[in-house]
């Protein structure tokens, strides 16, 4: 059974990674799951400068989901290199840096500064960030911006470049095609869905930023639909995520067209979800007589 997935000229050992923002830089989860067994760690977003993140409270639960408003809280590129790279260097699993910014130039600057690091397998570009040059609309909502950002980042690195799509758009296929046209080596979907909770006792939004990002089982059908549509629209690998809690959910995404997966919110519920999902995928493949991940594709 071959579980590996090729992205550009590099190999992910298995399809089950852990999603950006839900796993820090791996350290915290080291006692709780076998990091070396992960298909990939997608780090918390890194920006050029350190960012404190959004005001609190930052979390609120919803039916079968949660909303987060962490913002891009991170230590910035310099301290990332100093404080996080040594640990990441010690890991045997692929580490994919989630890159964020408010301007095209900021994304580029992060990649320029870290690209020589062998610890980094590739990049995942978070285009759900508001583009300050375009009235705060997220980069990922406009195909023109997405193609431009992708192609300008492609020039800076030989590592695989994954564009992470937001579901908060009219036509996610168009965005995916723009990423592919810009030279993306893969796309990941979905980032969080825009949502909001009102505290009816305080009569104000549950989080100060008013709207936040919905994740967890509630959004799984949205993620599966996105992966299905995107995988029909492009010829690069699609990485599926959104509400995967167990192997059955993971298999849904694979059958819908995903070549790899990320476990996000589920890490909070069971820190070893990724291990269990990988085991479950293997069992499913054995029963189905599948020998490689691509055997999941093309059934409908």
Partner 1 sequence: MTNFKSEILSQKSIALGYMEMTFRWPEESEKPKPGQFLTIKIQEQPVPLLRRPFALSGFDEEQKSASIIYQVRGTGTKMLAALKAGDPLDVLSPLGNSFSLPAVDETPLLVAGGIGLGPILYFARELDKAGHSPVLIFGCREKSLIPDLPPLTNGRIQFCTDDGSAGFHGSSVDYMNSLSSDETGNAKVYSCGPTGMLKACHDFALSRDLSCETAMEEMMACGVGACMGCVVELAEDQDRKYARVCKDGPVFQSRTIKWT
Name the minimum Å distance from CB 120 to ligand FMN. 16
Name the minimum Å distance from CB 25 to partner 1. 8
- In this structure, what DSSP letter does residue 36 have? G
Q: Is 56 in the site for partner 1 (CB under 8 A)?
A: yes
Q: Is 23 in the site for partner 1 (CB under 8 A)?
A: yes
Q: SS3 for 97-143, per residue?
A: EEECCCCHHHHHHHHHHHCCCCCCCEEEEECCCECHHHCCCEHHHCH
Give the helix ranges, DSSP H, for the chain.
76-79, 85-89, 104-114, 143-154, 172-181, 220-233, 247-256, 266-269, 273-288
Residues 160-199: x where in contact with a copy of itself by CB under 8 A, - otherwise, as a string: --------xxxx---------------------xxxxxx-
Residue 62, CA distances (Å) to 39, 66, 67, 167, 206 in order: 29, 5, 7, 18, 11
Q: Choose one: 4-12, 123-131, 247-255, 259-267; the region binding a copy of itself (CB under 8 A).
A: 247-255
Binding site for ligand FMN (CB under 6 A): 19-22, 44-45, 68, 70, 98, 126, 164, 191-192, 215-216, 219, 241-244, 264-266
Is residue 156 a contact partner of residue 131, using CB atoms and an 8 Å limit?
Answer: no
Q: Is 210 in the site for partner 1 (CB under 8 A)?
A: no
Structure tokens at 49: 């400068």
Q: Is 217 in the site for a copy of itself (CB under 8 A)?
A: yes
The yes-or-no answer on residue 93 being catalytic is no
Residue indicated by tokens 């408003």: 69
Among 269, 279, 288, 292, binds partner 1 (CB under 8 A): 269
Among 55, 210, 286, 294, binds a copy of itself (CB under 8 A): 210
Active site residues: 129
């Amino acid at each position: 059974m071959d579980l590996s997935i090729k992205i550009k000229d590099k190999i992910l050992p298995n399809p089950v990674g852990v999603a950006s923002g839900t796993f820090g830089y791996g350290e915290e989860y080291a006692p709780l799951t076998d990091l070396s067994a992960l298909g990939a760690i997608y780090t918390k977003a890194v920006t050029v400068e350190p960012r404190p993140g959004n005001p609190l409270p930052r979390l609120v639960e919803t039916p079968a989901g949660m909303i987060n408003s962490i913002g891009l809280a991170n230590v910035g590129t310099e301290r990332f290199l100093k404080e996080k790279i040594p640990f990441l260097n010690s890991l045997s699993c692929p580490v994919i840096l989630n890159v964020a910014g408010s301007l095209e130039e900021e994304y580029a600057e992060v990649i320029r500064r870290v690209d020589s690091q062998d610890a980094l397998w590739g990049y995942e570009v978070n285009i759900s960030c508001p583009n300050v040059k375009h009235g705060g609309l997220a980069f990922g909502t406009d195909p023109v911006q997405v193609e431009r950002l992708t192609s300008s980042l492609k020039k800076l690195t030989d590592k695989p470049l994954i564009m992470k799509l937001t579901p908060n758009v009219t036509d996610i296929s168009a965005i995916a095609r723009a990423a592919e046209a810009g030279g993306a080596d893969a796309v990941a979907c979905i980032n969080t869905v825009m949502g909001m909770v009102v505290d009816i006792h305080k009569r104000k939004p549950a989080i100060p930023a008013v709207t936040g990002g919905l994740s967890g089982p509630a959004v799984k059908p949205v993620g599966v639909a996105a992966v299905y549509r995107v995988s029909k629209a492009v010829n690069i690998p699609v990485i599926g995520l959104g509400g995967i809690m167990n192997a059955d959910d993971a298999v849904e995404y694979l059958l819908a067209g995903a070549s790899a997966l990320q476990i996000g919110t589920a890490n909070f519920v069971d820190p070893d979800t990724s291990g269990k999902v990988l085991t479950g995928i293997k069992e499913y493949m054995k029963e189905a007589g599948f020998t490689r991940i691509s055997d999941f594709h093309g059934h409908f």
